[in-house]
């Protein structure tokens, strides 16, 4: 097996606040192999961004981070600023949700891409600008040479995000971390940005971490998927495992709230309720209050992330073995879950494989 380019092990992040300790990330681990696409999904506040910011050394100084994050074996947690900035942008590039936060409003986009090239390469300004134009062309900005002179505010949101992707590509990184890269954009532009990311991946050969709250965005893109809830991984496996045989009710819930083009007029089944507060979390599974399958044990013991029938497919649910054939509708019936039907479902499947 090839060595991972990026490896995160038992990452914990807490923030001391006036209200108490926020446990934002609780024991996240993953490995990213060369060229692999890992999707990280979860609702707002589940810890997706903090996980990525922590490994890149981009959290505020108040954050307490423990665990390990290695780029090709080099430890990033606790590394010096200069060491981190030699890796950031060169080996590991990040793309954020709002392109305006990544772009400087007072410089032309061509200049900003050229500067990204020059930050890690000893090339002339002219050569860097030619490369910038080439990159703009690669991410399909029409009339790239002309557009290079534009300022961020002169471009549409979709074009700005392409510019950010071009910057991410500038130094042929091995890893690109894209945090909700399409969330601020409308559906048509979303598809174009996903295409631009695909181009970036092919052109650089980079492995990619694709963070999203929308499972639909990563369908067909991710090789592996991790589902986060309340700072923890609750399911992880190949895209096929997670999309077709999910073993955690929360994942089923996320799938049930996805619009499906292949099913006529199917009602969506949203997950009722909101994620828990991350301050003074009670024991037990944090999904319990929203879980139609919850039993008394769920309030007491938080289930570990454990192998299901396959060693590569992990789930954190006391009842994951009962979810072998479950479909979102079986678990999340209608807007208000029909608890009777669900109890029946659990009874019927009890003792299953
Ligand atoms: N600087 C901070 N101080 C205190 N709490 C923080 C800080 N940064 C993040 N958090 C908390 O950590 C938790 C995880 O936040 P994070 O931004 O990782 O969520 P997310 O999964 O990326 O959500 P979204 O989909 O909204 O981007 C949240 O509860 C958030 O309020
Ligand atoms: Mg986020």
Radius of gyration, alpha carbons of the chain: 22
- Confidence (pLDDT) at 68: 97
Sheet holding 92-95, edge to edge: 92-95, 175-179, 207-212, 37-41, 224-229, 232-238, 314-315, 306-307
Give the DSSP H or E segment for 135: helix 125-138
- Contact indicator for 33, 207 with CB cutoff of 8 Å: yes
Report the greatest alpha carbon distance in the chain. Answer: 71
Ligand 2 center to 96 CA (angstroms): 9
Query: What kind of fold does domain 6-222 have according to CATH?
Result: Rossmann fold (3.40.50)
CB of 45 closer than 6 angstroms to any ligand 1 atom: yes
Instruction: Give the pLDDT confidence score for residue 125 in this predicted structure.
Output: 96
The one-character DSSP state at 279 is: B
Rounded to the nearest 10 degrees, what angle do helices 109-120 and 157-169 cross at?
20
Ligand nearest to the CA of residue 213, numbered in listed order: 1
Q: If you ran DSSP here, which 8-state letter would residue 345 be given?
A: H
**Is any atom of ligand 1 closer than 6 Å to the C-beta of 17?**
yes
Q: By the 8 A CB rule, do 87 and 175 touch?
A: no
- Residues contacting 257, CB < 8 A, separation 6+: 268, 269, 270, 271, 328
pLDDT score of 344? 62
Q: Give yes or no for residue 103 CB within 6 A of ligand 1.
A: no
Q: What is the DSSP letter of 316?
A: -
Q: 6-222 and 226-349 share one CATH topology?
A: yes
Q: What are the tokens at 307?
A: 């192998």
pLDDT at 297: 95
Instruction: Report the separation in Å between the CA atom of 149 and the middle of ligand 1, taken as the mean of its atom positions.
Output: 36
Indicate the pTM of the whole model: 0.89
- For domain 226-349, give the fold: Rossmann fold (3.40.50)
Residue closest via CA to ligand 1's atom 30 equals 45
- How do the domains of the chain map onto residue ranges? 6-222, 226-349
18 lines ligand 1 (CB under 6 A): no
Q: Are 275 and 45 in contact (CB under 8 A)?
A: yes
Gap between the Cα atoms of 189 and 156, Å rounded:
10
The encoded tokens of residue 274 equal: 């909101």
Tokens of 257: 């709230």
Residue burial 320-333, b: 16+ Cβ < 10 Å; e: rest: bbbbeebebebbbb
44 lines ligand 1 (CB under 6 A): yes
**Closest Cα to atom 25, ligand 1: which residue?**
44
pLDDT one digit per residue (tens) for the chain, 353 residues? 688 999 999 999 999 999 999 999 999 999 999 999 999 999 999 999 999 999 999 999 999 999 999 999 999 999 998 999 889 989 999 998 888 888 999 999 999 999 999 998 999 999 999 999 999 999 999 999 999 999 999 999 999 999 999 999 999 999 999 999 988 788 888 888 999 999 999 999 999 999 998 888 888 889 999 999 999 999 999 999 998 899 999 999 888 776 655 555 456 667 888 889 999 888 999 999 999 889 999 999 999 999 998 889 999 999 998 888 777 777 776 444 455 555 566 666 654 43
């Amino acid at each position: 097996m090839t060595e991972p380019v990026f490896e995160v092990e038992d990452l914990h992040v807490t923030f001391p606040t006036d209200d108490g300790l926020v446990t934002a990330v609780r024991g996240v681990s993953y490995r990213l192999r060369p060229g692999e696409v890992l999707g990280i999904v979860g609702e707002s506040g589940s810890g997706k961004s903090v996980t990525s910011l922590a490994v890149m050394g981009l959290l505020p100084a108040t954050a307490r981070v423990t665990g390990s994050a290695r780029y090709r074996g080099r430890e990033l947690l606790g590394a010096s600023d200069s060491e981190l900035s030699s890796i950031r942008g060169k080996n590991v590039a990040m793309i954020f949700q709002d392109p305006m936060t990544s772009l400087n409003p007072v410089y032309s986009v061509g200049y900003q891409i050229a500067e990204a090239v020059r930050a890690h390469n000893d090339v002339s300004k002219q050569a860097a600008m030619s490369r910038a134009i080439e990159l703009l062309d690669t991410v399909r900005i029409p009339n790239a040479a002309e557009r290079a002179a534009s300022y961020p505010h002169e471009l549409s949101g979709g074009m700005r995000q392409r510019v950010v992707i071009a910057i991410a590509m500038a130094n042929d990184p091995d890893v690109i971390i894209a945090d909700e890269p399409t969330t601020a954009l409308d559906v048509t532009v979303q598809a174009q940005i996903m295409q631009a990311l695909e181009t970036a991946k092919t052109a650089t050969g980079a492995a990619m971490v694709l963070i999203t709250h929308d499972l639909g965005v990563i369908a067909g893109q991710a090789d592996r998927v991790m589902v986060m809830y309340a700072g923890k991984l609750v399911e992880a496996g190949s895209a096929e495992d997670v999309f077709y045989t999910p073993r955690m009710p929360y994942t089923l819930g996320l799938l049930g709230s996805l619009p499906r083009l292949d099913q006529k007029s199917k009602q969506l089944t949203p997950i009722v309720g909101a994620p828990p507060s991350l301050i003074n979390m009670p024991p037990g599974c944090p999904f319990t209050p929203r879980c139609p399958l919850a039993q008394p044990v769920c309030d007491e013991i938080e289930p570990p992330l454990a192998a299901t029938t396959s060693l590569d497919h992990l789930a954190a649910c006391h009842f994951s073995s009962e979810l072998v054939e479950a479909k979102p509708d079986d678990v999340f019936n209608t807007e208000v879950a029909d608890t009777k039907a669900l109890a029946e479902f659990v009874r019927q499947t009890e003792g299953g494989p």
